[in-house]
Structure 1
Amino acid sequence: MVQRTFLIVLMALVMLVVLCGCRDSSDDGAPVAADTPGGAVKLFNGNDLTGWEAEGGARWVVEDGLLIGTQGENNAPGDLFTTAGYDDFHLTVTWRAEWPCNSGVWFRYQGPDKAYQADILEYANPECYSGTLYCPGKMFLAMNTDKTLVNRDDWNTFEIRCEGDRSQIWLNGRQVADVRDDTTATGRIGFQVHAGGEFGPMKIVVRDVLLEEL
C-alpha cells in the first residue's frame, strides 16, 4: 500500500515538472513563433510593448491583449516602432479604428522623409481610403478608391509584402497596391497617430502583428 502511494505521488510530481516546462514562451515578452505556416513571428506579444519604442506625444497602451494608440495632450501625434528593422517580408496586421481616424502602418521606415505607409484614413481630395500606399515626398503611390473594402466598425486585415523594390498591399483579401519604388529597401515597422483636433476622438486598435521574413 505504501509503495503504491509513493508511485502515485512520484507520477504527480513528474507531470507537474512537464507542465511547468511547457509554459508559453510568450510569457517573457519576446517575439515568439506564431502558429502559422512559414515561420512567421508575433511582433506584438499581446502583453506589453516589448520590442517596440514610442516617438512623439501619442499615447500607446496594451489593454486586454490589444495595442491601442490615441492622441496625447493637446492632440499630440506620435508613432510606435519596432526596435528592429526588416528588409524583405510578408506582414499581416489586424486592426480596427474609431473614426474620424488618420493613422497607418509604417514599413521600411528610416525616418519621416524616408518610409512607406499603408494608410488608415478617409481622404477627400483625392478621394481614397484605407489601404492607400503613402510615401513621404511622393504622396500616394497607389490609392484604394473602394470604400466598401473597409470594415468601419469591425476588424480589418492588411497584408503587406515587400521584395526588393516591389511593395504590395492587400486589404481584407483584396489587393489595393502593387508598386515598384526604390525610396527605401529596409527599416522599421510601426503605427501612426496623426495630429489634428479633427482626429481627437480617434483610436487605432491592433490585435495581431505577424511577420515572415523572406
Structure 2
Amino acid sequence: MSIRILVTVLTVLVAASSEAADVAWLRKMNQKIPASETKVRLFNAQTLDGWQGQKEKYWTVDGGTIIGSNTAGNAPAASTYLVTDKPYKNFRLIFESKLVESEMHTGIAFWGHTIEMQGDPFSYKGHLVMYPSKYGFFDLYGRRSIYQDKDGVAQAAGRQHDWNRMEILAIAPRIRHVINGKLVADWTDPLPETCVAGPIGLQLHSNKVAQEVHWKGLLLTENPEDLLISVEE
C-alpha cells in the first residue's frame, strides 16, 4: 500500500471515528435531558426549514451541518444572522460548533430581535454568547460588552479550529455557558427587562476577509430545569 493511500485511509477512519463520537455525545445529552423539558429540534440536518436569513448569500447545509460562510468579496458589513422562525426565552441549547476559516469570533444570539444594519435585514439586537476567538457575552447594539472571560476559563476550555461541544442554559435573566464539559460562564443580567423572548440566531460576524463557521446538533428544550447536563465532573 502506498503512503498516499495509507494516509487517505487513515484520514477517512479518523473522520468516521470523530463523527461517531459526535453522534454518541449528542445521543447521551439527549438522554440526560429531564423529562419535564419540551424538546425542540431546531435543525432537521437536511434543510434550513424553520430558519430565516440571507440563505442564498451566506447559509448552506452539508452533511448534517449548517455552514455560514462568505468570501472576501461579499463579506457582511454588519454581522448577519440565521435566525429561528420561533421566539424563545427560557431554554437549554445543546450543540457543536467549529470555526473553520478566519480568526473572527462567532456566537449564539437570543433575547432580542432582528434589525436592519448596513442594508442587512438580518442583523440582531439582543444578547450574544461569543466564541471561540473571543469569549464572553455582548449586548448587541446596546450596552456592548456585558461579561468578559477575564480569567481565561473559556479560552482554556475552547478549541480554536476544531469542534466545540456546548450547552447554553438561558433562564432569564441568568445565562450559563458550558464548553467541552467545563462551565465557563455564569452571569445574571442586572437589567432583566432586556431578557425578552426572541429568535435564536447563529452569527456570521461582520468582516473583510473570507470566513466559515459550522454548527450541528442544535437540540433545544423549552422551560428547562435549573441544572446543567453537559458539565463533566
Alignment partners' CA distance in 2, 1:104 and 1:35: 22
- Give every structure 1 segment of 4 or more consecutive aligned residues whose post-TM-superposition deviation is greater than 6 Å: none
Normalising to structure 2: TM-score of the pair?
0.66
Q: 1:57 to 1:75 in 2, by over 3 A?
A: farther
Mapping 1:133-144, distance limit 5 Å:
133-136=137-140, 137-144=142-149
Greater strand share, 1 or 2?
1
Instruction: Give % identity.
Output: 25
Deviation at 1:60, TM superposition (A): 0.2
In the alignment, does 2:178 pair up with 1:170?
yes
**Shift in CA distance, 115/55, structure 1 to aligned 2, threshold 3 Å:** farther
What is the match of residue 108 of structure 2? 105
Distance 2:104 2:64 in 1: 21
| Cα displacement (A) at 1:207 | 1.4
TM-score (norm 1): 0.72
Alpha-carbon offset, residue 107 of structure 1? 1.6
The whole-number CA distance in structure 2 between the counterparts of 1:80 and 1:62 is 12
Tell me by how many angstroms 1:188 deviates. Answer: 0.7
Aligned to 1:52: 51
- The aligned amino acid for 2:139 is C
Select the structure with the greater relative contact order (CA < 8 A; seq sep ≥ 6). 2
The structure that has the greater radius of gyration is 1
Match of 2:199 in 1: 188
| Shift in Å, 1:177 | 2.1
1:176: how far off? Answer: 2.2
| 3-state SS of 1:148 partner | helix
Work out whether 1:210 is the aligned partner of 2:219: yes
Give how far 1:55 is off.
4.5
Q: Which runs of 5+ in 1 are unaligned?
A: 1-33, 123-128
Query: Quick one: distance in 1 between partners of 2:195 and 2:132?
Result: 23
Partner of 1:160: 168
For residues 77-123 of structure 1, the C-alpha deviation after alignment (integer angstroms, 9 at most, x for no partner) is 5210000001211111211112312321112232457411111242x
Q: CA deviation at 1:149?
A: 1.3
CA distance 1:119–1:35, change in 2 (3 Å): closer
Q: For 1:188, what is the secondary structure of its paired residue?
A: coil
Question: What is the Cα deviation at residue 54 of structure 1?
Answer: 0.4
Kept in 1, the 8 Å contact 2:132–2:159? The answer is no
Kindly indicate whether residue 74 of structure 2 is the aligned counterpart of residue 74 of structure 1. Answer: yes
Name which of structure 1's ranges 184-193 and 166-175 shifts more when overlaid on structure 2: 166-175
Consecutive unaligned residues of structure 2, counting only runs of 5 or more, are 1-28, 116-123, 224-233
Count of residues in Structure 1 that have an aligned counterpart in Structure 2: 172
The match for 1:150 among 152, 158, 165 is: 158
Q: CA RMSD in A?
A: 2.3
